[in-house]
Amino acid sequence: MAMEIAATGRAVPEQRVTNDDLAKRIDTSDEWIRSHTGIGSRHIAGEHTACSDLALEAAKQALSMAAEREGRTPEAAALSLDLILVATATPDHYGTPSTACLIQGRLGAAEAAAMDITAGCTGFIYGLEAAAGLLAISGARKRALVIGSEILTRFTNWDDRGTCVLFGDGAGAALLEKTTAPAEGPEKRGLLRTILGADGSGAEHLIIRRGGSRLPYKPGETVDIPPHIDMNGQAVYNFAVKAVTGIIEKLLREEKITIDDISLIVPHQANARIVQAAGKRLGIPEKKFFLNIEEYANTSSASIPLALDELNRSGKLRRGDLIMTIGFGGGLTCGGNLIIW
Ligand code: UT7
C-alpha cells in the first residue's frame, strides 16, 4: 500500500543574518558567498533554542494542517501518530534521549514509537523510506511524522570561513500516512520509489570529529572551540554532483519515465552550483529545480522538508504532480524519492 504526505510544516528562527552581516565579522564577502554557493542569508537560532524546539514547531504545524482537514484538534491528531522519526545531525543530546522521544513527549503523542535517524543531509529521505517501511509492515500503524531539524550554527567553526558561511538552522516536517487513493490510474498518489545510498569510505570528508567516543573531551582539557563540522568541500562537491546526476538517472530509469514527467525536483540545498552542474550534465533546465538556498543556506536534513512545506503552503504543489527529492551529504550518504503529490 502506498504512503502519502498528508500535511507539512516548518520552523525557521527569526534571526536572519545576511552575507554582509557575516562580512563584518569574518574575512568574506557577499560576492564570494553568492557566486560560490547561491546563499544570501541564513537564519540562526537563539542560544536557548535546541533542535527539538524547531522540530516541535514544524511538527505542530503539520499536525494542525491535518487536524483542520479532519475537523479535530491538533492534540487529537498527535494522538493518532504511530511513529515519530527525527532526522538530525545536531540532536539536543548525543546518544540519549533521542530528539524524537523529546518530541513525542512534548506533543503528547502517547501511541507513537520514536527514534532518530543519522544520515547527514540525506536524513529526511532515509526517514521517509524508513517510515513507509514501518507503516507497511504492520496493519496497526497508519501514521508517521517524519521531521528534519538542525541547529547547525551551534556546530560551526566560526573561525573557518570555508564552512561557517554555508550553514543555517531550521526544521521541516511531513505527516506520512497510508493513502486511501486508488493504487492505479489518475487518482494514484503517494511515495512511488526511493533510492538510498552510502559511501562510508568518504566519512572523513564531512565530520564532527570531537565529542564522540572516538575523540571525547578529557577532564581538565581546555575547549577552545566546541565540536564543529569539518568539511573537505571539494571532495563533497564532487560526490554531490555525481550523486545528484546518478540518482536522477536511476529514478527515471527504474520508474521508466522521462524528465518531462517530473513537475519539480526538490534537491538538498547545499550549493546552487551543485544543482546547476548536475542539471547541465543531464540537460535539465534550471527551472525544474526548486531552490530556496538564497534565504536559508544549508540546513542539512531540514532543507528538503522545509522546501516541501514552502511549496505546499504556497500552492505550488498540485495534486497528481510527480516530484523528485534528492539528498546528499555526511556519511557520505545520498538518496532520492519519487512522490506523486
Ligand atoms: O550539505 C552537505 C553537503 N555539502 C556540500 O555539498 C558542500 C560541497 N562543497 C561546496 O559547496 C564547495 O566546495 C564550497 C562552497 C564549500 C567551497 O567552494 P570552492 O569553490 O570549492 O572554494 P574553495 O574551498 O576551493 O576555495 C576557493 C578560494 C580559496 O582561496 P585561495 O586559496 O584560492 O586563495 C579560499 O580560501 O576561496 C577562498 N574562500 C573564501 N573566500 C571568501 C573559501 N571560503 C571563503 C569565503 N569567503 N567564505
How many angstroms separate the alpha carbon of residue 165 from the centre of ligand 1? Answer: 10
Q: What is the pLDDT of residue 223?
A: 80
Rounded to whole angstroms, how far apart are CA atoms 255 and 269?
Answer: 25
Query: Could you say which residues of the chain have pLDDT below 50?
Result: none
CATH number of the domain where residue 149 is located = 3.40.47.10
Q: What is the pLDDT of residue 287?
A: 94
How many angstroms separate the alpha carbon of residue 159 from the centre of ligand 1? Answer: 14
CB 158 near ligand 1, within 6 Å: no
* pTM for this model (two decimals): 0.97
Number of folded domains that form the chain: 2
How many angstroms separate the alpha carbon of residue 30 from the centre of ligand 1? Answer: 13
Tell whether 208 and 163 lie within a shared domain: no
CB 335, CB 1: distance < 8 Å: no
Residue that terminates a domain, selected from 179, 201, 229: 179
Q: What is the pLDDT of residue 298?
A: 98
Q: Which residue has its alpha carbon closest to ligand 1 atom 21? A: 234
How many angstroms separate the alpha carbon of residue 78 from the centre of ligand 1? Answer: 43
Tell whether 124 and 203 lie within a shared domain: no
Tell whether 172 and 207 lie within a shared domain: no
Tell whether 154 and 206 lie within a shared domain: no
Residue that terminates a domain, selected from 179, 206, 237: 179
Tell whether 63 and 168 lie within a shared domain: yes
CB 165 near ligand 1, within 6 Å: yes
CB 233 near ligand 1, within 6 Å: yes
Tell whether 116 and 172 lie within a shared domain: yes
C-beta contacts of 276-279 below 8 A and 24+ residues apart: 277/241, 278/241, 278/244, 278/245, 278/248
Q: What is the pLDDT of residue 84?
A: 98
Residue appearing with cell numbers 504512503: 3
Q: Which residue among 237, 241, 303, 333 is best mutated to probe the pocket of ligand 1, counting the most ligand atoms within 8 A of its Cβ?
A: 237
Tell whether 232 and 127 lie within a shared domain: no
Q: What is the pLDDT of residue 152?
A: 98
Q: Which residue among 36, 157, 273, 293 is best mutated to probe the pocket of ligand 1, counting the most ligand atoms within 8 A of its Cβ?
A: 36
How many angstroms separate the alpha carbon of residue 240 from the centre of ligand 1? Answer: 14
Residue that terminates a domain, selected from 179, 204, 227: 179
Question: The domain containing residue 25 runs over which residues?
Answer: 2-179
User: Does the CA dihedral 244-246-248-251 come out positive or negative?
Assistant: negative
User: Does the CA dihedral 236-241-245-248 come out positive or negative?
Assistant: positive
Q: What is the pLDDT of residue 230?
A: 96
Rounded to whole angstroms, how far apart are CA atoms 88 and 82?
Answer: 20
Q: Which residue has its alpha carbon closest to ligand 1 atom 20? A: 36
Tell whether 150 and 204 lie within a shared domain: no
